[in-house]
Amino acid sequence: MTVIVTRAFIFYVFLTLMMKLMGKRQIGEMQLSELVTTVLLSELAVLPVTDTDIPLLHGLVPLILISSIEVILSFASRKSKRFLIFLNGNPITLYENGKFNEGNLTKARVSSEDVEAQVRINGFETLGEVKKVILERTGKMSVLPKKNANPNQSGEG
Amino acid sequence: MNNFIIAIILIVVAVIFTAVNSFYICSLCDEITALAESGKYGEAIALWEKKRDYISFFIRDAEIDVVNSEADSLAKSYSLEDGEAEMAKMSFSEAISEIKHSEKLTLGNIFYIDTAVKKVYY
């Protein structure tokens, strides 16, 4: 059991680091630690259910461990901004005042076409109507319009 | 804040629970092996059968089944010749050692392959 608990912890840390390396595009709606927890929990829950050779505790104890780590990390992120930035990174500006930030595009592994697509999804016809595009911690892009620009609602969806 | 405290308590309980159980299973295995090696087969088998259900909470069924079958062989070995009895004793001790080894927190257990697979390869 101690081996399984240690392995669960190692997998949690390793998966978090790998997800961090892959960048925000993989995350979608969740924070990084939430995604890692979801991935690990779903797998851990399935194994002892389907394989009766595995003792129930081999699934339950790592579940408790990983859920608890997630709660502790969330708490630590809320209390310490530095820890939040370490774990989930900072929002990144991809486009500002008519120019793409190439360094940030490379860092986030996002192409200018992806940004343009996101601008259109948000109801703008061209990048000229947009002041800023920011890649948020969750992996979603926020599109901030210029003062006089209005998103075309019919174009949404 | 409440969730944070509960999470801390759960982690501490989980770690202590697993550590204590691993330690207890290792000492049980040592005890059973010592009994078998000193020739007290009956007591070794009785102790195994008494603690088998508890151990099966933490160890895979496949490993439990191996020890069960070795315990059966050992029980029958009273009627066997000396060489066969010795073999049964060794097999039983090895099966118990496998359980003990799988509970130990070693780098080999964490990073390498399963002990059952090791048996096949080496």
Instruction: Write phi, then psi, for A74 (nearest 5 degrees).
Output: -60, -40
CA atoms within 13 A on the CB side of A95: 25
pLDDT of the residue at B122: 41
Shortest distance between the Cα of B96 and any Cα of chain A, in A, equals 16
Of A6, A52, A64, the CB nearest to B10: A64
pLDDT of the residue at B25: 92
In chain B, where the domains are located: 19-116
Average pLDDT over residues A129-156: 78
Of B11, B62, B109, the CB nearest to A65: B11
Shortest distance between the Cα of B84 and any Cα of chain A, in A, equals 31
> Are B14 and A7 within 8 A, CB to CB?
no
pLDDT of the residue at A153: 57
Non-local CB neighbours of B99 within 8 Å, separated by 6+ positions = B25, B29, B55, B59, B63, B67
Residues of A with CB under 8 A from a CB of B: 1-7, 10, 52-58, 61, 64-65, 67-69, 71-72, 75
User: CB burial class (10 A; 0-12, 13-18, 19+) of residue A76?
Assistant: middle
Chain A residues inside the 8 Å CB shell of B22: 1-2
What's the token pair of residue B82? 């000396």
Helix (H) or strand (E) holding B18: helix B2-37
Nearest to A23 by CA among A147, A111, A82, A95: A111
Of B58, B106, B110, the CB nearest to A1: B58
Q: Higher-confidence residue: A154 or A111?
A: A111
Read off the pLDDT of residues B100-117 as tens digits, 9 standing for 90 and up. 888 888 877 777 655 554
> Are B4 and A72 within 8 A, CB to CB?
yes
Measured torsion, CA atoms of residues B93, B98, B101, B102, in degrees rounded to the nearest 10: -150
Shortest distance between the Cα of A43 and any Cα of chain B, in A, equals 18
* Percentage of chain B modeled with pLDDT above 70: 85
Its pTM stands at: 0.71
Nearest to B41 by CA among B3, B11, B77: B77
* Size of the A and B interface in Cβ pairs below 8 Å: 74
Distance CA A43, CA B96 (A): 30
User: CB burial class (10 A; 0-12, 13-18, 19+) of residue A149?
Assistant: middle
pLDDT in tens, chain B (122 residues): 788 888 899 899 999 999 999 999 999 999 998 888 887 888 888 898 898 889 888 888 888 888 888 888 777 766 656 677 777 778 888 888 888 888 888 877 777 655 554 454 44
In this prediction, the answer to ipTM > 0.90 reads no
What SS3 state is found at A17? helix
Of B7, B22, B58, the CB nearest to A72: B7
